[in-house]
A and B are shown apart, each in its own frame.
Chain A
Amino acid sequence: MLNSQKVLSVSQLTEYLKNMLETDIRLSNLWLRGEISNLTVSNSGHMYLTLKDHDSIIKSVMFRSNYSLIPFKINKGMEVIARGRVSLYAPGGTYQFYIQELLPQGIGAFELAFQQLKDALAAEGLFRKEHKKPIPQFPQSIGVITSPKGAVIRDFVKVVRRRFPQVNIFLVPTAVQGTEAPAQICNSINLFNNKFPVDVIVLMRGGGSLEELWTFNTEVVARAIHNSHIPIISAVGHETDVTISDMVADLRASTPSVAGEIVVPSIEELKDVIKKLEKQMYYQGQSLIKFNSSKLENIKKDLLSAINSVFERKERNLAILADKLHDLSPLQILKRGYCLCMDEKNNTIINVNQVKIGSRVKVILKKGILNCRVENKGEDLNGQKF
């Protein structure tokens, strides 16, 4: 095609070069190591970048179909390994590296993506304590998001039924692995939030590799959990697997069975609590009655002693009065040699005018009575007329 005599068009040369590049078997599929610089993503979703090392650069492109599969975020300066082919872009007059697969260097793609999303959401504050909604102590209904197949849901149901049989469990069968899974999980979370309210949601999946658990490390799932008005318990994988879902959720259970333990109280424990309260109440009630009856007893005693003391006081007063009366008794006066004079009608005579001469009077002495006749009357004890 190419000969020195012939004048070629630019396109002809370009076509020739492109053909040369594309037919070289070594250039059609190779791994390339380099640092990313000049990174842009077009509106149509293709990524244009430059890979470089110390001395050289190569323009590169990754089309949307491949780029959209990368779980982690690509940044300038990142060291990567890329698989692709070399070809020529005629309108730009440049040879390019067409990337099909891109891996971070030194760390797995999923580990990197996990770290990146974790950092981004942490910076946004999604894992903060103040976002954690309290898990109800006694839920009446539990919404479960997981696959209806397999042992996970059955283990969970078994544990919940054993602890607290009366709770209602509503399962939305949801894919927990694969490309459909993130969107399905978001839908299920929204279903409970908007159309079928439950007291608490449990998001579950059994153990698996990081790739298999990937759904629970996606941003959409993290945000759906964060935006849920209903508290969510995340129980993904085994004890050692911690996913972004676990971190955003209001509570993490290390496994689905543990979620069953956490989400409902044990009926036996509750019965014990009630029994204890009952005992305490009866004990307190009884002691209240005892306290009050002893109070009554005391009041009775007080009342009796009060009455007694009133009696005693009155008695004492009476004795004093009796003494006084005794002192004032005429008999006491008679004792001292005075005597009492009365007429026949027993009127006490204190004035000579009360008697006439010749009338009879009684003179009462301390001992005995004198019956006398008045023979004479005088005026005054001190006067001369007596």
Chain B
Amino acid sequence: MGKSFEENLQRLENIVDCFSNDQLSLQEGLSLMEEGIRLIKECNLFLDKGKGKLKMLLEGENGIAVWDAKELEGEIDEI
């Protein structure tokens, strides 16, 4: 993804704002819409992206160790 979701969403809001300008030409409007449709696609793609990572970090002498921490996803077993 080229730009961050945040930037894309901002641009999208910006595009909608642009339409309130009376001076907007049809040509400009159409290219804004084209861009908007692309941004919506990208935003939705990002929102439908799979689950993020869940990792534990530990700093040791040889740098940082990173490992999966799937067990933190679940409920706690013991009370």
Contacts and interface: CB of A to CB of B under 8 A. Distances in A.
Contacts of B19: 281, 284-285, 288
B2 interface: no
B52 A169 contact: yes
Nearest to B34: A285
Interface in A131-175: 136-138, 140-141, 148, 150-151, 153-154, 157-158, 161, 165-173
A285 B73 contact: no
Interface residues of A, number: 41
B21 to A, nearest CB: 10
Contacts, number: 114
Contacts of B32: 285
A41 interface: no
A157 B73 contact: yes
Contact of B5 (A138, A154, A187): A138
Interface string B4-20: 11100100110110011
Interface stretch (A102-110, A271-279, A306-314, A353-361): A271-279
Contact of B56 (A141, A172, A277): A172
Contact of B29 (A153, A154, A169, A288): A288
A154 B15 contact: no
A171 B72 CA distance: 10
A288 B31 CA distance: 12
A38 interface: no
A244 B74 CA distance: 31
Interface string A249-270: 0000000000000000001001
B62 interface: no
Contacts of A277: 12-13, 16, 36, 40
Contacts of A137: 6
A372 interface: no
Given A191-B64, A277-B12, A271 B47 contact: yes
A284 B74 contact: no
B74 to A, nearest CB: 7
A273 B46 CA distance: 14
A138 to B, nearest CB: 5
Nearest to B56: A171
A280 interface: yes
B57 A270 contact: no
A288 B54 contact: no
Interface in A167-205: 167-173, 187, 191, 195-196
Nearest to B69: A171
Given A157-B72, A273-B9, A277-B12, A168 B33 contact: no
Nearest to A165: B51
Given A166-B49, A196-B64, A281-B15, A292 B40 contact: no
Contact of B16 (A136, A169, A281): A281
A150 B71 CA distance: 12
A161 B6 contact: no
A322 interface: no
